[in-house]
Structure 1
């Protein structure tokens, strides 16, 4: 009986050795690759957190500089943020903050360049779209109407469709193209929620152009129906 068991165990051992000789290297490499991939993923996660923490610290410094109107300091911190952490949300947010201060301080060309970077390099579509809307306004003020309209062309996130249409209306009106301005404002008006405060501003633009909205409740009427004074 013992001999029978010994032979069976020996056979199983021989089968195991054969299996390992055949597939051992493959198994070893597979395990090694899995461990390497896991280590790489963990390293990437750590690097991402480290980058975000450092970028967040720089953004806080930038925000403080903007709050006190320190144009030189804010521009320097943003330049560092832009160079070291361009793929973070903090870089896009920093661009918007810096551009606003630059514009307020009369450095319109600098603001245009900062917004142009955010519009092209922003980490996600929302930040890029906000930058495009603001850049379109700066270009409109500089009477660069075609460039301004180009910022609003193409596919934009649906949430910004109404604001983009409103900005197109402003540009068309600045060009003296009244009918096209009205069409853009009407598009913006229809796309906004009836109770949105900004919708009343668009309605006021249409009224001033002799094209008060018809065929439905106006923003003012909707607000009144909800108990809000116009």
Structure 2
């Protein structure tokens, strides 16, 4: 049901008051208020999404076409970095619940890693995860955070494993997650578990028709290492036979 004007709604309420009394009129008034409030909320939501989208487009416009087509983060000029920082800050402050804020912050974290600002990158990724984003963004941010933590210190291996083990990643992300787990196991010195994780990552990539040569390279490099314990053997002594 719709009404052409506020005056018609008021007139309708007057007639209902006269015919049915206070309870009916109050009930209808509450319903009309709820409907109006919901429509206003919808309007504001659409406006918020449009504004966040516009800000995110500003971030993309900051990059050249060649930069946007690169798989890894290309070097940015100081002017571009300033623009990116401003856009990301605006999105985080005013539109924290939007996916645009999450995507922009993921991009910023990539740039921070490239600039060797690991602490800043960790803070950016932790912010994304704190917003409880959709599963795809959560998985991406978690894996990237795992890599940052391992780059900071091999002692973060267990923390990384704890985080990735509880991650509810989809099948399409299995290769990426298992590869990160393998890195964590290797940081902890557990080569057997690392090999199992890399193997699982390679198999998952092949099952999904993905070409991930770096995964196979990790597995091959691990297989080429001497057996555990041989690294500490006194090289001046010949190997024992038998």
Query: In the aligned structure 2, how far is the partner of 1:63 from the partner of 1:45?
Result: 27
Query: In the aligned structure 1, how far is the partner of 2:53 from the partner of 2:29?
Result: 36
Residue-by-residue CA offset, 1:172-198 (whole Å, 9 max, x unaligned): 123332101012123333444525224
- The yes-or-no answer on 1:51 pairing with 2:48 is yes
Cα distance change, pair 56–195 in 1 and its aligned pair in 2 (3 A): closer
- The yes-or-no answer on 1:132 pairing with 2:142 is yes
- Any residues of structure 2 matched to 1:145-156 within 5 Å, and which? 145-156=157-168
TM-fit CA distance, 1:150: 3.4
- The yes-or-no answer on 1:92 pairing with 2:106 is no
Report what 1:112 is aligned to: 122
- Any residues of structure 2 matched to 1:140-219 within 5 Å, and which? 140-143=150-153, 144-159=156-171, 160-194=173-207, 196-198=209-211, 201-210=214-223
Secondary structure at 1:210 match in 2: helix
Aligned-residue RMSD, C-alpha: 2.5
Query: In the aligned structure 1, how far is the partner of 2:84 from the partner of 2:61?
Result: 8
The answer on whether the counterparts of 1:66 and 1:74 sit within 8 Å (CA) in structure 2 is: no
Secondary structure at 2:166 match in 1: coil
Report what 1:222 is aligned to: none
Report what 1:12 is aligned to: none
Residue-by-residue CA offset, 1:197-224 (whole Å, 9 max, x unaligned): 245543443344339xxxxxxxxxxxxx
Report what 2:112 is aligned to: 102
The answer on whether the counterparts of 1:189 and 1:199 sit within 8 Å (CA) in structure 2 is: yes
Unpaired stretches in structure 1, ≥5 consecutive residues? 1-19, 212-230
- Normalising to structure 2: TM-score of the pair? 0.69
- Normalising to structure 1: TM-score of the pair? 0.73
Query: In the aligned structure 2, how far is the partner of 1:34 from the partner of 1:63?
Result: 43
Tell me the number of residue pairs that the alignment of Structure 1 and Structure 2 aligns. 191
Q: Which protein has the larger Cα radius of gyration, Structure 1 or Structure 2?
A: 1
Query: In the aligned structure 2, how far is the partner of 1:176 from the partner of 1:32?
Result: 69
